[in-house]
Structure 1
């Protein structure tokens, strides 16, 4: 005989509360395990495909591990040093870029020269803050979230966790399936399949879109001659999974840097006079790179790789990222998308059950 609904809700509510409390207290401690599990989940289809090709599970995981190590070594040797160098240069150049912005505004709006004006005071305050806090911010980041010890732990623990979870993925899922409540096993399996479909469409598909767009932006901007093109492409690709935010942030950053770099970079000779002109062609090329990237994302990449049946509305996704990020920090942002997908699937199933119930239909429809 099944437990009453009231008791079931009590036990599931306790389990949910325990999960949230553990997530709250452990925080960054479980970060390597969350990342390792996410990597194993994303690579499991590749391992399954290699198994179907005739390899054992161990051999499949070994092939994936060797390929991953090779890619990581290539990135470490070719990309990461340049990325770090451009990031450091961008931070160090930020005060100079801001001074140029202020000078350009003062040339076009002389009234800003008035020291008593609100805009002039705000510009001065922002400039002083950038100069005073820029280095302090970098040092704070390096000493906290990106400290040497944390980096070492992530680089060592995450691959080990991912390796073992990928190796035992099928056994773990079978073990979890054997622990499901027998009265609800089919319903839970159905919900799990829907959640897996949603996560596979979003995380694997959107992750591929982020990788493709990030690579495209970085290479295209560097070929266009934009300073810091690699870091701009990295940032734009990294946050592409947030609807519209990746394009807006990356585009604004790239076009802003292009304006600073190419404004007054062309010498125009008129008779005996030489003036500085703006290279609008280069600025237009940078803007066109992002316009073409958005066209590719909206019409080719997202429909092909993600699909239209993900079921994660952009507003719901932004809300989940904001809530979990504010409550649980960086770990919360990592688990926000999977939990949002789970809640969305369960909510749709609950609405479907509600529409089938007498509470919604009433007795007249049955009669």
Structure 2
């Protein structure tokens, strides 16, 4: 008969055998839990990286639906919801079609005039320098450098001609994606209220869920409306400034360009400003310098004054918080961080308010004690 194995010394004499087994099981399960969660997060990011385009289209459709939801809700008072959605999309489609027609007609006319104007700048009369050569010569640019630039542009033009078919294919894909986004947004407007109502009814702590859902709708929809208002304001400032202050040609075209570029954070103003400065250079370097100063003014107004106030008010943020979010988002995540800084900050602010309210509800004695301490400090007792 084999001898019994010697018992190991009990290093924790206060614990029973069952408690020791549970403790070792806990130590074993914690690393496994961390490993499982890490694998799950990696899997989620891997899947997201392969369906980025679909997620982006769904996000854009949701943003578009959030932006149109207040108008649908307003029309729903006098007509069924589906009819209200169709009427809203008919209005939006008509507005975009009219704007597209006006923009396209003005763009074609002013582009044709611009090409004729550029041709007149490069025409040589009797061996004399062209107007473009005289204007650029004031900045020390020689004729040889101009010819090199012209040859570079011609080479790029040939490359663009070769790439015309891929460009048309990409444009067709963009149109198809636009139609898909519009259809998704219609479905979100039709069924989105059902999903939200289901969440309101079946989510634990319904008051908190209602508050978060209402705030999310306000933040996202307000951000889109605020960004559109800001882009429209910049477009008006650029169009009126170029046309009535500096008397530059193609002011309407430049205003449309500024409206489109305004949706690109930071870089948008610089791109539209660079185009305006190049056109101003054809008149004089003084005009170009004044246009540069004007765009610096617009950039300051957009980024430091009006932008944080308009977008921040739409999202529900104080202008200082909105400005801080823009700077922090740009530093951390670049252009995309700047673009989504305000709505993300609005959602985070909502979550903080919910958590703070819950803390006050659960621990009212701590807040009462704090108020007494503040009162005593103020009275000097």
TM-score range, shorter chain: 0.5 to 0.7
1:217–1:293: 8 Å Cα contact kept in structure 2?
A: no
For 1:171-182, list aligned pairs within 5 A. 171-177=194-200, 180=203, 182=204
- Which consecutive residues of structure 1, in runs of 5 or more, have no partner in the other structure? 1-5, 264-277, 326-332
Which structure 2 residue ranges, 5 or more long, are not aligned?
Answer: 1-29, 123-129, 371-381
Q: Is 1:37 aligned to residue 62 of structure 2? A: yes
1:43, CA displacement in angstroms?
0.4
Q: Deviations over 1:227-281 (max 9, x none)?
A: 4434432332234356655444433431331122x23xxxxxxxxxxxxxx885x
CA separation of 1:198 and 1:78: change in aligned 2, threshold 3 A: same
CA separation of 1:143 and 1:193: change in aligned 2, threshold 3 A: same
Contact between 1:218 and 1:230, CA under 8 Å: does it hold in 2? yes
Match of 2:219 among 198, 203, 215: 198
Instruction: Give the C-alpha shift of residue 64 in structure 1.
Output: 0.6
| Closer/same/farther in 2, CA of residues 85 and 57 from structure 1, 3 Å limit | same
Q: Output the CA distance in 1 between the equivalents of 2:198 and 2:219.
A: 22
How many residues are treated as equivalent by the alignment?
A: 320
Of the three residues 318, 331, 337, the one matched with 1:309 is 318
Name the CA distance, whole Å, in 1 between partners of 2:206 and 2:273. Answer: 48
Higher-Rg structure is 2
Q: TM-score scaled by structure 1?
A: 0.62
RMSD: 5.3
Task: Tell me the residue number matched to 1:67.
Answer: 91
CA distance in 1, matches of 2:201, 2:33: 19
TM-score scaled by structure 2?
Answer: 0.60
Q: Give the Cα separation in 1 of the matches to 2:36 and 2:98.
A: 49
* Mapped pair 1:54 → 2:60: no
Whether the 8 Å contact between 2:196 and 2:213 is mirrored in structure 1 is no
Equivalent positions of 1:190-339 (< 5 A) are: 190-218=211-239, 221=242, 225-241=247-263, 245-260=267-282, 262-263=283-284, 280=287, 291=297, 303=309, 306-307=312-313, 308-309=317-318, 311-312=321-322, 313-319=325-331, 322=334, 336=340
Going from structure 1 to structure 2, the CA distance change for 1:248 and 1:324 (only over 3 Å counts) comes to closer
Distance, in Å, in 2 between the alignment partners of 1:32 and 1:86 is 33
Measure how far apart 1:16 and its partner are. 6.2
Change (3 A) 1:314 1:324: closer
Asked if residue 147 in structure 1 is aligned to residue 170 in structure 2, the reply is yes
CA distance in 2, matches of 1:92, 1:30: 44
Against the structure 1 CA distance between its residues 284 and 324, is the aligned structure 2 distance closer, same or farther, given a 3 Å change threshold? closer
In 2 relative to 1, CA 32–215 (structure 1 residues): closer, same or farther, beyond 3 Å? farther
Kept in 2: contact 1:47–1:57 (CA 8 A): yes
| TM-fit CA distance, 1:60 | 1.8
